[in-house]
Structure 1
Amino acid sequence: MRVILDEPKCVASGQCVLAAPHVFDQRDDDGVAIVLDETPAQELHDGVREAVAICPAAAIRLAEK
């Protein structure tokens, strides 16, 4: 799994950080999400999929490796 974030679409809601805190964080200056780990370990995949599902801006997508 590879995590792809479309930063311009991000509305800084922070839902991804709550769902997968080891994979996502937010910039201090504007709250826009950042990806900490583009290829997360298997045990983090459920949280990442939840983050994709609950992102209000649909700014996160997954690519299978």
Structure 2
Amino acid sequence: MKVSIDTDRCRGFGVCVSLCPEVFVLTDYGYSEVAVEEVPPGLEEAVAEAAEACPERAIECN
């Protein structure tokens, strides 16, 4: 699974980081970014949950 964040939509709520810190991190400016190129096995469900919980719907999984 690959995941990306639309940086134009992200507002830095950090919900994704709190739900899956193994994949998402905050930048120095307080916005989320993806820390890995490929979602590790076993974390797909957490990434999907983070995408669903994102208030701005800025996370895309495929």
Give the alignment's TM-score, normalised by structure 2: 0.92
Q: Distance in 1 between matches of 2:24 and 2:37?
A: 9
Gaps of 5+ in 1: none
Whole-angstrom CA distance in 1 between matches of 2:20 and 2:34: 10
Which is helix-richer, 1 or 2? 1
TM-score by length of 1: 0.88
Percent sequence identity over aligned pairs: 35
Gap runs ≥5 in structure 2: none
The CA deviation at 1:27 is 0.8
SS in 1 for 2:11: coil
Q: Residue in 1 aligned with 2:36? A: 37
- Structure 1's consecutive aligned runs of 4 or more residues displaced over 4 angstroms after TM superposition are none
The reply to whether residue 20 of structure 1 matches residue 20 of structure 2 is yes
Q: CA RMSD in A?
A: 0.9
SS at match of 1:53: helix
Counterpart in the other structure of 2:46: 47
